[in-house]
Amino acid sequence: MTKAKEFKVGDKAVYPAHGVGEITDIMTRKLGGQERQFYTLKVLENGMKIMVPVTTAAAAGLRPIVSSKEAKEVFDVLKSDDVAVKTQPWNRRYREYMDMLKSGSPFEVAKVLRDLYRLKFEKELSFGERRLLDTANTLLIVELSLALEIEEGEIKQQVEEIFAA
C-alpha cells in the first residue's frame, strides 16, 4: 500500500463528488478524549468547507490534482467511442453515474461527462441526468484547468469541441 499524500496549507486537492479545494488549515480537535488532526478544505467552486481527518483522508478519496500527463489521458477518455453505462432505465443509469462521480477518479468523471454529452444529442436528458452532466462538467473542468495551467474557459471550449465533432 502506498503512503498517503500529506497535504500542506495552500495545497490544492480533490475531494470526491465535491471537486477541487484548497487546504486552508490543518487543525487539531479533541474527539472522544483523543486529539485528531483535520484538513480544512475549502471547495473552489462553491466555498463550502469540509473537514477531513488526516488519518483517513486517503481512504475518503482526498487526492492531489492530476498531473498534466494524466490530464491529457482524461481527454483521451472524453474522445473515446466507448459507453461506460448501458443500463436501462434512467434511474439505474443515474445510480451508476453517481457512483462513478463519487469515486473521485477523473477518468470515471470523464466517462460520465462523455456518456451524458452524447446522450444529450440523442434524447432530452432528465432533470437528474442534466444535473449529473453539469456536476461532471464542473468537476472535470476545474481540475483540468489547474493540472494544465489553462483558463477554465479554454478547457470548457476544448471539451465542447470534442463533442461537436
12-15 and 63-64 as β-strands: parallel, antiparallel, unpaired? antiparallel
Among 119, 155, 164, CA closest to 137: 155
Q: Given its phi and psi angles, is residue 32 left (phi above 0), alpha (psi -120 to 50 degrees) or beta?
A: left
* Confidence category of residue 165, pLDDT binned at 50, 70, 90: low
Domain 12-64, CATH: 2.40.10.170
pLDDT tens by residue, 102-152: 998 999 999 999 999 988 888 888 898 899 999 999 999 999 999 999 999
Has residue 11 got a pLDDT over 70?
yes
- The CATH fold assigned to 68-164 is Methane Monooxygenase Hydroxylase; Chain G, domain 1 (1.20.58)
Domain boundaries, the chain: 12-64, 68-164
Residue 42 belongs to what H/E stretch?
Answer: strand 34-43
